[in-house]
Structure 1
Amino acid sequence: MMIALYRAPIKFGARSPWLRLPRSRPQHGQRNTSNSTPAKDSTNAAKQDKLPPHTPYEIPVEGAKAEPVDIPIQLWYHRLGPVSTFFRWFHRTQEKRPHAVQVSMTLITYLCGDLSAQEIGGEPYDGKRTLRMLTIGAIASIPGYKWFLFLGRNFNFQSKVASIATKVAVNQAVFTPIFNSYFFGMQALLTGEGPSGVITRIKATVPTSIVNSLKLWPAVTAFSFWVIPHQYRFMFSGIFAVAWQTYLSFLNRKEEKIELATDSMLRPVIPEGKVVK
């Protein structure tokens, strides 16, 4: 009787291959006459007898080399363990409380942008200015989040390139002018400007901001819709929004200085006791 030896497929974590021997049932009427076999071995033998004939059982063979096995391991996941953990936590939190997450991320973005702008401007820190920025960001966070969800659901064509190009064009033509007008208008309104002052601020800042937005946001928006999953697009855009809010805050402060200088020239301060002829 010949015994066939073969190797079983190597499982992950196995230390060595296995030698498989065919198991056959004892012949009819054959009894185990050995009295030296322990009770445990008798139990195992009874279980083995219930298996169908020619069922292999495994015996480890020492000294044999394990054959290489391709194991699909996501190396990037192991190398970026903390980052992956953060993204999983962020995704779960966003699914449970999407609006709270968007408001929190927006406030962080606007806070960082304002602090950077005040640092660049070289002026003493103004807490009221930061409070205005946070108020503007909190009001705009949910509409901005809804807008990008709207873009993701619409303008989807058979061509992915055409879809993304349309989304970018619609975003630049609709969202950017409305948001920039809201931002600079609210800045003027919160500083005590009247309707004419709000309109003047918008006319002076919005065209410049729209032109400069073409240098950044079309590329960011296209990459976001092309690569980034929809649940992470807002957070991805927030990375660039810090720099953008820094620029908007700086531009708004620059226009404020111009308006203050213009007002001082139109209404010069007259020293007390001096009579104007």
Structure 2
Amino acid sequence: MSLLLRKYQQQLAERPLRTFALQSGCILTLGDIIAQQFIEKKGLENHDIARSLRTTAYGLCIGGPVIGTWFGFVNRVVTIKSKVGAAFARLALDQIFFTPTILAMYMGCVSVLEGRNFAQIQNKFRNSYLDGLSTAYHFWPFANMFVFAVVPMQFRPLINSGFGVGWNTYLSYLNQQSLKQPNLEASDIPSAL
């Protein structure tokens, strides 16, 4: 196992954005698969491969690089010597600025990949954004406090991604539920991917 961790650290040091992108793409895809198979109980024959590919594309191109860059930024900006004080400062920055932004990016980007028009995207935000943000504020402060306070800097994105499996399962499910909201039926969504 230590060889695998050393290779991960090496890739993180040499190719951080690529590592974050691949990590996020895998974690988001796993979350979507769990949502489809274990929450929605679609079965393998009804698995929406295009939906999984959209999720993967978001993780590879946007989610991973943005989250990885954010972790680096927060660690550079917060220079408080106290480990606990630094963890609380990083958590505050994360919850105030990053959580609402990354949720909006996810919902908007996935909507674009789904082929939704502007009115459909607005409706999705009206119906789902605040629920998603409320759930994020019930989940991420605890996960991130652990990550910021206990986990060494080089492993924070990896451990955070572990928590992300559950979160991304929820996001995939939330996104799918938004298709069932009034004024936004699945048949109104053009097929993309």
**TM-score range, shorter-chain basis?**
0.7 to 0.9
8 A contact 1:117–1:246 mirrored in 2:
yes
Q: Which residue pairs with 2:3 in the alignment?
A: 85
Q: Quick one: which amino acid aligns to residue 227 of structure 1?
A: V
Alignment partners' CA distance in 1, 2:69 and 2:186: 40
Among 202, 207, 218, the residue aligned to 2:130: 207
Whether 1:243 aligns to 2:172 is no
Residue 157 of structure 1 and its aligned partner are, at CA, apart by 2.0
- Residue 47 (structure 2) pairs with residue 125 (structure 1): yes
Question: Would the aligned equivalents of 2:31 and 2:166 in 1 still touch at CA under 8 Å?
Answer: yes
Counterpart of 2:117?
194
Q: Which amino acid aligns with 2:132?
A: S
Tell me the equivalent position of 1:230: 153
Match of 2:30 in 1: 112
Aligned positions of 1:153-192 closer than 5 A? 153-192=76-115
Normalising to structure 2: TM-score of the pair?
0.87
The runs of 5 or more residues in structure 1 that have no matched partner are 1-82, 265-277
When residues 103 and 262 of structure 1 are mapped into structure 2, their CA distance, relative to the original with a 3 A threshold, is closer
2:10 equivalent to 1:97: no
- Equivalent positions of 1:244-259 (< 5 A) are 244-259=167-182
Which blocks of at least 5 consecutive residues in structure 2 are unaligned? 188-193
Is 2:135 aligned against 1:135?
A: no
Instruction: Choose 155-164 or 236-245, whichever is displaced more.
Output: 155-164
Deviations 1:67-91 (A, max 9, x none): xxxxxxxxxxxxxxxx222212211
SS at 1:214's partner residue? helix
Percent identity, aligned pairs only?
27
The whole-number CA distance in structure 2 between the counterparts of 1:102 and 1:84 is 20
Query: What's the Cα RMSD here?
Result: 1.8
> How far apart are 1:216 and its partner, in Å?
1.9
User: Cα distance, 1:122 vs. partner?
Assistant: 2.0
Displacement of 1:141 in angstroms is 1.3
> Counterparts of 1:263 and 1:129 in 2: how far apart (Å)?
13
- The aligned counterpart of 1:150 is 73
Counterpart contact for 1:152–1:225, Cα < 8 Å? no
**Contact 1:185 1:199 (8 Å CA) reproduced:** no
Indicate the structure whose relative CO is greater, using CA pairs within 8 Å and at least 6 residues apart.
2
- Three-state SS of the structure 2 residue aligned to 1:150 is helix
Out of 122-131 and 91-100, give the one that drifted further: 91-100
What SS does structure 2 have at the residue aligned with 1:115? helix
Residues 163-207 of structure 1: per-residue CA shift (max 9 Å, x gap): 211211111111111111111122222222211111111222121
Change in 2 beyond 3 A, CA 1:143/1:96: same
